[in-house]
Amino acid sequence: MPIGAITRGTTNPNRLRRVDRWAQTWPALRTTENPLVVDLGYGAKAVTPVEFIERIRKVRPDARLIGFEIDPDRVSSARAELASWAKAGRPVTGVAFELGGFETPLPTGKKAAMIRAFNVLRQYDEADVLEAWRRMVSALSDDGVLIEGTCDEIGRVSAWVAVTHDGPQSLSLSLKLDALEEPSIAAERLPKVLIHRNVEGESVHRFMTELDRAWKTHAPLGSFGASQRWVATVETMKSNGWPVQAGRTRWRLGEITVDWSAVAPNGFRWH
């Protein structure tokens, strides 16, 4: 039996563009000998796994994808979608859909360079997160990454954690900046491990509060464009001591990535 529970299959074309854009930058993707990526819990349609592999192939043209779903009907319908594209003369190659849960049942001897599990753990309990992460991580190659997160229906607000064999590495937020009132809109889309921790006394709460404050401080820059205002916001976070990763090229997209250690829940332990 696949490990986990069938949950709602809601998905939408292009909703995962923000996380996919970040996934393209994962260094090991370029160097791995085995560019196999997994979309775990792809939902009621095959559209987001196909978009995922198309984006990954921009940096790794020989990448292949296995999509796992815990719902057998969704496996059948995704396979039927693949077959119908092939029949229509638009075959999608190097993609397979299989029944599977958090155990990520790859063919014997295979490991994944990347697992994307989006809007899957959202419907579980916080207490289920660590075990699910550990199971998925055990299907990764030594330098592989699990990207686990959540977004809104159309992908304007997105948040994810990158997890390797050494445990969680970072938290990323990615926001559509036009008409953004407060970055803390991301609070309701935080990955399950953090969503209930956005309360006084937890680091992620301080992070969200300071992010809102910096965004407000830089409001006058909004007249030069929301992206300039965001870059200044992220620079302020960095100069205030937050371990912000990457640089302006990423920040301009409405992204901020910080070391996990800066936002980890109180008492969090990987080992």
Ligand X SMILES: C[S@@+](CC[C@H](N)C(=O)[O-])C[C@H]1O[C@@H](n2cnc3c(N)ncnc32)[C@H](O)[C@@H]1O
3-state secondary structure of 67: strand
Provide CB contacts within 8 A for 106, sequence distance 6+.
36, 38, 66, 112, 139
End-to-end Cα spacing for the chain? 27
Q: What are phi and psi of 115, to 5 degrees?
A: -125, 125
Task: Closer to ligand X by CB, 119 or 198: give it.
Answer: 119
What is the smallest separation between the CB atom of 98 and ligand X, expressed in angstroms? 10
- Residue 147 or 194 having the CB closest to ligand X: 147
User: Between residues 9 and 94, which has the closer beta carbon with respect to ligand X?
Assistant: 9
- Nearest distance, CB of residue 60 and ligand X, angstroms: 21
Q: Which is nearer to ligand X, 8 or 58 (CB)?
A: 8
Closest approach, Cβ 228 to ligand X, in A, equals: 30
Instruction: Indicate the residue among 145 and 211 with the shorter CB distance to ligand X.
Output: 145
Residues whose CB falls within 8 Å of the CB of residue 35, separated by 6 or more in sequence, listed in order: 29, 56, 60, 62, 63, 64, 113
- The residue ranges that bind ligand X (CB under 6 A) are 2-11, 15-16, 40-43, 48, 68-71, 74, 101-102, 118-120
- Sheet of 95-99: strands edge to edge? 95-99, 64-69, 36-40, 112-118, 140-151, 157-164, 167-175, 255-259
Alpha carbons 211 and 213: distance in angstroms, whole number: 5
Closer residue to ligand X (CB): 147 or 214: 147
Minimum separation from the CB atom of position 68 to ligand X (A)? 5
Nearest approach, Cβ of 25 to ligand X (angstroms)?
20
CB of 100 to ligand X, least distance (A): 6
3-state SS class at 75 = helix
CB of 187 to ligand X, least distance (A): 19
By beta-carbon distance, which residue lies closest to ligand X? 4
Characterise 94 by phi-psi region: left (phi > 0), alpha (psi -120 to 50), beta (else).
Answer: left
Residue 75: name the closest of 93, 52, 98, 48 by CA: 98
Q: Are 2 and 101 in contact (CB under 8 A)?
A: yes
